[in-house]
Amino acid sequence: MTDVDVEELSPGEYVSLPRAAEYGDMAWAGWCCPSCHEPLLLLRAVHDVDYDGVVSPNVSCPEQGCDFAGRMLLGDWVPEPRGHA
Residues in contact with Zn ion by CB under 5 A are 33, 35-36, 61, 63, 66, 68
Query: To the nearest whole angstrom, how small is the minimum distance from the Cβ of residue 60 to Zn ion?
Result: 9
What distance in Å separates the CA atoms of residue 80 and residue 73, rounded to the nearest whole number? 16
Query: To the nearest whole angstrom, how small is the minimum distance from the Cβ of residue 84 to Zn ion?
Result: 36
Residue 13 or 25: which CB sits closer to Zn ion?
13
Residue 18 or 70: which CB sits closer to Zn ion?
70
Residue 70 or 79: which CB sits closer to Zn ion?
70
18 prior amide bond cis, ω within 30 = no
Query: To the nearest whole angstrom, how small is the minimum distance from the Cβ of residue 6 to Zn ion?
Result: 14
| Beta strands across the sheet bearing 39-43 | 14-16, 27-32, 39-43
E-strand stretches of the chain: 14-16, 27-32, 39-43, 48-49, 55-56, 59-60, 69-70
